[in-house]
């Protein structure tokens, strides 16, 4: 059994969701051979020195325990936890994977993405994405003190929340051409991504080929969502805190 999650947006100010995650890590995730985290596990990540923050340290410990009990944990950064790096990997035991990544899942090549790269209609966002992913930007940002980085991210969050309220929902969703291009470029017939919080299974026809796209749901205070891949098939599951 292989599980996929994304968009938990864990943050010390959201104890209920953090509690759900810890139940999930101690529960269903422990029976999986692998857990793929496809971005935005954290609501924000100011740098790996933030691993020391008690709530973050607890998450790292939970992931480390999972690994020790035999579940391979793979971590792909999302837009919010873009700065997760080797320090986090060392603290959590998770294997960092680049985006995009093609992985053999149950015998078929599967493209794994966070998903924001597919939202090409939001040109303003894509410009921002390119800036923050620039290695020089990253380097100079990480050279600032942790408190300064956190304050900067806090300001960014507020701006993005207010922009989201005024932007049309379609602009923030994935673009059909970007999806077709991704299937084509990677030569796969299956894709899994998060980011849009619109949990669904979509079927696409790309150059006459049937392709499947699984979109992971986000987590709320009272429910977590994950995709379960078993030999018998794939399905979305929800987690309410009890097995």
Cis peptide before 100 (omega within 30 of 0): yes
| Residue 97, both tokens | 């994977």
- 62 contacts 30 by C-beta, under 8 angstroms: no
List the one residue from 56, 79, 110, 196 that touches Mn ion (CB under 5 A). 79
Segment near Mn ion (CB under 5 A), from 63-71, 77-85, 126-134, 170-178?
77-85
Segment near Mn ion (CB under 5 A), from 52-60, 76-84, 89-97, 221-229?
76-84
List the one residue from 8, 40, 83, 190 that touches Mn ion (CB under 5 A). 40
Number of residues counted as binding Mn ion (CB under 5 A): 4
Enumerate residues 189-208 that contact Mn ion by CB under 5 A.
195
Lay out the sheet containing 34-38: strands in order across. 95-96, 72-76, 34-38, 2-5, 224-230, 233-239
SS3 86: helix
Residue 78 makes contact with Mn ion by CB under 5 A: yes
Q: Which is nearer to Mn ion, 18 or 79 (CB)?
A: 79
Q: Which is nearer to Mn ion, 59 or 216 (CB)?
A: 216
| Residue 55, both tokens | 């709530």
Alpha-carbon radius of gyration of the chain: 17
User: Position of tokens 């299937």?
Assistant: 183
Q: Which is nearer to Mn ion, 43 or 48 (CB)?
A: 43
Q: Which residues in this chain contact Mn ion in the complex, by CB under 5 A? A: 40, 78-79, 195
């Amino acid at each position: 059994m292989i599980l996929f999650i994304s968009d938990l947006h864990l943050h010390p100010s959201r104890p209920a969701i953090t509690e759900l995650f810890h139940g999930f890590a101690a529960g269903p995730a422990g029976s999986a051979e692998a857990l793929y985290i496809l971005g935005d596990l954290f609501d924000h990540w100011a740098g790996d020195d933030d691993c020391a923050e008690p709530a973050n340290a607890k998450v790292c410990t939970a992931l480390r325990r999972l690994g020790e009990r035999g579940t391979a944990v793979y971590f792909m950064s999302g837009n919010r936890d873009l700065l997760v790096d080797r320090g986090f990997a060392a603290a959590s035991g998770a294997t960092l994977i680049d985006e995009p990544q093609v992985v053999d899942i149950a015998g078929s090549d599967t493209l794994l993405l966070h998903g924001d790269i597919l939202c090409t209609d939001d040109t303003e966002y894509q410009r921002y994405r390119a800036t923050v992913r620039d290695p020089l930007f990253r380097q100079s940002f990480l050279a600032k003190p942790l408190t300064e980085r956190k304050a900067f991210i806090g300001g960014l969050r507020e701006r993005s929340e207010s922009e989201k309220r005024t932007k049309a929902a379609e602009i923030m969703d994935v673009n059909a051409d970007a999806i077709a291009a991704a299937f084509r470029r990677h030569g796969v017939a299956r894709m899994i991504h998060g980011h849009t919080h619109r949990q669904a299974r979509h079927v696409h026809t790309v150059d006459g080929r049937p392709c499947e796209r699984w979109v992971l749901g986000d987590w709320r205070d009272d429910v977590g969502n994950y995709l379960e891949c078993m030999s018998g098939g794939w399905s979305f599951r929800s987690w309410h805190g009890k097995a």
